[in-house]
Amino acid sequence: MSEQKVPYKIYLNENEMPKEWYNLRADMKNKPAPLLNPGTGKPMTAEELAPVFCEELVAQELDETTPFIEIPEEIRSFYKMYRPSPLVRAYCLEEKLQTPAKIYYKFEGNNTSGSHKLNSAIAQAYYAKKQGLKGVTTETGAGQWGTALSMACSYFDLDCKVYMVKVSYEQKPFRREVMRTYGASVVPSPSETTEVGKRILAEHPGTGGSLGCAISEAVEVATSLPGYRYVLGSVLNQVLLHQSVIGLETKIALDKYGIKPDMIIGCAGGGSNLGGLIAPFMGEKLRGEADYRIIAVEPASCPSFTRGTYAYDFCDTGMICPLAKMYTLGSSFMPSPNHAGGLRFHGMSSTLSQLYHDGYMEAVSVEQTEVFEAATQFARIEGILPAPESSHAIRVAINEALKCKETGEEKTIVFGLTGTGYFDLYAYANYNDGTMTDEIPTDEQIAASIAKLPKVEA
């Protein structure tokens, strides 16, 4: 098909939208290592997970053999309100860069929550409702996940309790108001509403809180209040499963025009958007049907893949959650307070960790100022104000397109544009004022938190 025929935006009709999620683990020869019970060192069973998570989500978490799982009708109806998300051909960016590369991005910021997180929030809220629960609890750091979950809960008339890291609660009052508008209760963490919160406040008066602490509070409330469960917005297998809708739509859209990408690029915090975007492509790669370069981009300030250790670790700083085998910087690792809020997680999805370990994907880390340089360039050329997290992928996509300019290769690049940056304007202000810095942990800092990894038999 001739080049001109590819429109600026490739949309799908409602009846072309995916009806099933794709479970990448079904095609992996080396399955991701199971979650372990930190008390016994044995794999977590469905019974052990049931008091914390919704039943059906536990089943999805543990299912590593079913390749396709039906997207329930109710979730598909909700998806239709903001999906399919556009796959955009970045003609303007290509022109500006004077590159022979063809650049496409899948834009997930086209909903009120402003990111891809709604794709899994609506699924998790649906299963909680179906189980007859009253509500769910969660933590939020940067605020995108809490916003998405409050939207999903209001749709299904579920109560939603969000523990928001205190510094972020104070610095991002507008995010908090969006959540409250959707009916969620938002509590700054650590708080006096939980035992663990009271303990932490007594030990560290005046603390601004952390994600790990907020998780501990949310889990305590979920397991002590009848009719409540805890939900998580990234890292877990179930979240990657729901996010596969991103990759499936991308593949259907590309196939319509006979386009085969050479490389697929995404930012990686806990791994959910990247795992979702690459899912069907990685499936083909695992089955030996096609080959793609797959690149995870992480901040140099929190480099789990590129400088982490592949080992069992806690998912939270509070050390109450199950152990996951993943590339980790150690659960006590404290990334410097940089602006890519949603990428500041010490670990990584165990599915992506296994794929990276087995050589199916690459990872690179990029520094904050070069990320904002790419974000600003992208905003000016393509019009969308990108989230700082998403801009990590933009940076590497532009770098790869510039390499093509040197070599003259017409590579096709697809990257994930996970969200918009309207709530990140302090970060943009820092960049515009020239006060933004690049913080990179030393080898000693990383070694110190790695030394505290839990001891687990191989």
Contacting ligand PLP (CB under 6 A), which of 99, 124, 194, 234?
Answer: 234
34 binds ligand PLP (CB under 6 A): no
Min dist CB 144 to ligand PLP, Å, is 3
250 vs 273 by CB, closer to ligand PLP: 273
**Contact in structure between 215 and 241 (CB atoms under 8 Å):** no
Contacts with ligand PLP by CB under 6 A: the residue count is 18
For the segment 120-149, give every residue that binds ligand PLP (CB under 6 A): 144
Question: 188: cis peptide before it, omega within 30°?
Answer: no
Contacting ligand PLP (CB under 6 A), which of 389, 411, 424, 427?
Answer: 389
Tell me the backbone φ, ψ of residue 85, rounded to 5 degrees.
-80, 150
In the chain, how long is the greatest CA-to-CA distance?
67
For the segment 97-116, give every residue that binds ligand PLP (CB under 6 A): 115
Contacting ligand PLP (CB under 6 A), which of 342, 344, 394, 413?
Answer: 342
Identity of the residue numbered 78: F
Q: Which of 334, 400, 332 is nearest to 366 (CA)?
A: 400
> For the window 411-430, what string marks contact with ligand PLP as x by the rule CB under 6 A?
-------xx-----------
* Candidate ranges 28-36, 210-218, 263-271, 302-310; the one touching ligand PLP (CB under 6 A): 263-271
Min dist CB 5 to ligand PLP, Å, is 31
SS3 of 215, please? helix
* Candidate ranges 14-22, 215-223, 385-393, 397-405; the one touching ligand PLP (CB under 6 A): 385-393
Question: For residue 435, what are the contacts with CB-CB under 8 A and spacing of at least 6?
Answer: none
**Contact in structure between 446 and 331 (CB atoms under 8 Å):** no
For 265, half-sphere exposure in the C-beta direction (CA atoms, 13 angstrom radius) is: 28
* Candidate ranges 13-21, 40-48, 77-85, 265-273; the one touching ligand PLP (CB under 6 A): 265-273
Decide: residue 320, CB within 10 A, 0-12 exposed, 13-18 middle, 19+ buried. middle
390 vs 449 by CB, closer to ligand PLP: 390
What length is written for the chain? Answer: 458
Min dist CB 110 to ligand PLP, Å, is 12
Min dist CB 198 to ligand PLP, Å, is 29
354 binds ligand PLP (CB under 6 A): no
Cα gap 174→321, rounded to integer Å: 30
Min dist CB 301 to ligand PLP, Å, is 14
Q: What is the DSSP string of 46-113?
A: HHHHTTTS-HHHHHHHH--S-SEEE--HHHHHHHHHH-SPPEEE-HHHHHHHT-S-EEEEEE---STT
Contacting ligand PLP (CB under 6 A), which of 149, 268, 321, 375?
Answer: 268
* Contact residues: ligand PLP, CB under 6 A: 115, 117, 144, 234, 267-273, 342-343, 387, 389-390, 418-419
